[in-house]
Structure 1
Amino acid sequence: MKQLGSIFVRGLLIALPISLTLYLTVWVVEMMDGLFQGVVALLFGKYIPGLGLLLTLGAILIVGVLGSHVVTRSFFDWLNGLLTRIPLLESVYSTIQEAVSFLIGGKENGFQTVVLVRQPDGLGYTVGLLTRHSLPELPTIAGEDRVAVYVPMSYQIGGFTYLVRRDQIIELPEMTPQQALRFALVGGLGRGEKTKAV
């Protein structure tokens, strides 16, 4: 029974990540395919699997092209300004916009550098991600040379943003933000071949 349990756990460790990855991938593809389902049914009289996904990708590309052009970019700037002025929508839109910028906005908009934050009383270090080098919107601490560091929580989706003094952090250029997030998410468990010891 002990050997059977060990084999079951090994199978679970292999099958569960693969299954969840495939499930999430299929869910995203089906959601994107369903966005234009009504349009496809209206044009062709029936639902054609995959055509909605192509239309969604095409629409995203068109928005990207229009957003890159000088003339049409002003419309998106106007729309952005409008959404940030509507009281109820402003907070939702701004939060989604910032989250998308962090996830796919590149190094200049997203997580920039992996850092260690020194804990008081010699308790050790916390792995974090540097998000801001300056905090001009907080004039009360602007003269303290503080930076914003996002610290992810282990085994959870979420974390905390700490405003720490610059001399309290140690930058880790050899570690990527993705490696740091993985490290923090599993509480430091794993073999660690891709990360260097500090």
Structure 2
Amino acid sequence: MNHFLKTLRQIFLKGLFTFLPIAVTIYIIYAGIVIMESMLGTTIQRFFPSLYVPGIGLLLTIVFIFLLGLLLNNILTASFFGNIERQLMKVPFIKAIYSPLKDVMNLFSHNGSKEMKSVVLVDVGDIKMLGLVTRDDFSDIQVNGHLNDRVAVFVPLSYGLGGYTMLVSRSKITEIDMPAEKAMSLAITGWVKVAHKHDGESR
């Protein structure tokens, strides 16, 4: 009886661990679609009901984002938006919200991935922590030379979003040959090794 219940539990957990990533992915995509549809779709439905068809808000939002990106490729319009951004950053409350959000977006953008200069192991006593070097030059920050021999290392947290930044001595880090995406995946999953029976590979 115990063996039967154990088998049922293993089968259920196998199904659960397969279902959850799929369900969460679908939910995030669905939530994103709903948000984009509501951004312009609700406005059109209220003021131009005869023009509204389901999905038009999503389509117009995508077109708007594309056009915005197109405009930002132009030096003049990029400079114009840059001036607006600098004015917004002068407002304390807006700066407190906007600046961290933009930093996070830049982190996941193509240009942001270049900011991740290398994957390193950080020596913390007898402990080694996996991190990504995000800055190795502090010349633009007025800290009276206190960070001359330091690098900023982002250490992601396991099983969750976020992490923390360490300003460590260069002698305390060891660069390793690993893509940033792989390092993030290992850190977030707690370095759990998952066997892939279909191809004989393991992670």
Q: TM-score range by the shorter chain?
A: 0.7 to 0.9
- In structure 2, the partner of 1:101 is 106
Q: Distance in 2 between matches of 1:32 and 1:194?
A: 38
TM-score, normalised relative to structure 2 = 0.85
- In structure 1, the partner of 2:120 is 115
- In structure 2, the partner of 1:28 is 32
- Gaps of at least 5 residues in structure 2 are 196-200
- In structure 2, the partner of 1:80 is 85
Q: Percent identity?
A: 32
1:6 paired with 2:7, answer no
- In structure 1, the partner of 2:56 is 51
Where has structure 1 moved over 6 Å in runs of 4 or more?
Answer: none
SS across alignment from 2:138: coil
Please, which of 148, 165, 169 is the counterpart of residue 169 of structure 2? Answer: 165
Q: Distance in 2 between matches of 1:105 and 1:95?
A: 18
- The aligned amino acid for 1:89 is I
- In structure 2, the partner of 1:181 is 184
Aligned pairs, how many? 191
| 1:101–1:109 CA distance, 2 compared to 1 (3 A) | farther
SS across alignment from 2:165: strand
Maintained 8 Å contact 1:101/1:110: no
Cα deviation, residue 66, structure 1: 1.5
| 1:194–1:148 CA distance, 2 compared to 1 (3 A) | farther
1:161-186 deviations in Å (ceiling 9; x for gaps): 0001112111123x221211111112
- In structure 2, the partner of 1:155 is 159
| 1:112–1:51 CA distance, 2 compared to 1 (3 A) | farther
- The aligned amino acid for 2:102 is Q
| 1:109–1:9 CA distance, 2 compared to 1 (3 A) | same
Q: Distance in 2 between matches of 1:8 and 1:46?
A: 48
Maintained 8 Å contact 1:115/1:170: yes
1:14-54 deviations in Å (ceiling 9; x for gaps): 11111111111111111111111134323353642222111
Q: Distance in 2 between matches of 1:26 and 1:163?
A: 39
TM-score, normalised relative to structure 1 = 0.87
21-30 vs 63-72, greater mean Cα deviation:
63-72
Q: Distance in 2 between matches of 1:109 and 1:139?
A: 27
1:134-163 deviations in Å (ceiling 9; x for gaps): 1231334133x1100011111222211000
Q: Distance in 2 between matches of 1:76 and 1:19?
A: 38
